[in-house]
Amino acid sequence: MIFDQLDQLRDYGKLSHGIPAAIDYLLHTDFTQVSEGRYELDGERLVAIVQRYQTKPMAEARWEAHRRFIDVQYVLEGEEQMGHLLCRPGLTVEQPYDESKDVVFYKGQGTFFRMMEGDTAIFLPQDAHAPGLAVNDKPIEVRKVVVKCRVD
């Protein structure tokens, strides 16, 4: 996992699997002109999802991980808690891997951090994450972009 401000991500340009293209897209797109939705940036290899939602209580946290995609998550507006949990052997599967959705859900205990406007987190396949959680359990509206980068 990488956690940093968007404008600092230039330093990570040598990462692979479309991450530099995702960073470039985030840095050079005027999101005031982009509606919520799904946008193919390089076919199915690089996809941006612009979304708006209400954060949810910590009690509703779900640990998700992906096998085929890296998530580059960027907060446009608002703030949220985000959880991180390494996918280690012995981690309990809550919901088995769904290949069509590229997601598996786990049970476990991880660490949480606050993502504010301009913050970006990059989650690799070994990183389970719990997104969209309310800071201090006070739900607010968040606008976020998730760029999904295919790993193969």
Write down the pLDDT at residue 88.
87
**Residue 63 and residue 1 in contact, taking contact as beta carbons nearer than 8 Å:** no
Break the chain into its structural domains and give their ranges: 2-150
Write down the pLDDT at residue 14.
63
Write down the pLDDT at residue 22.
93
b (16+ CB within 10 A) / e for 72-91: bbbbbebbbbbbbbebeeeb
Write down the pLDDT at residue 73.
97
Write down the pLDDT at residue 133.
98
**Residue 96 and residue 103 in contact, taking contact as beta carbons nearer than 8 Å:** no
> What superfamily would CATH give domain 2-150?
YhcH/YjgK/YiaL (2.60.120.370)
3-state secondary structure 107-122: ECCCEEEEEECCEEEE
Question: Low-confidence residues of the chain, pLDDT below 70?
Answer: 9-15
pTM: 0.91
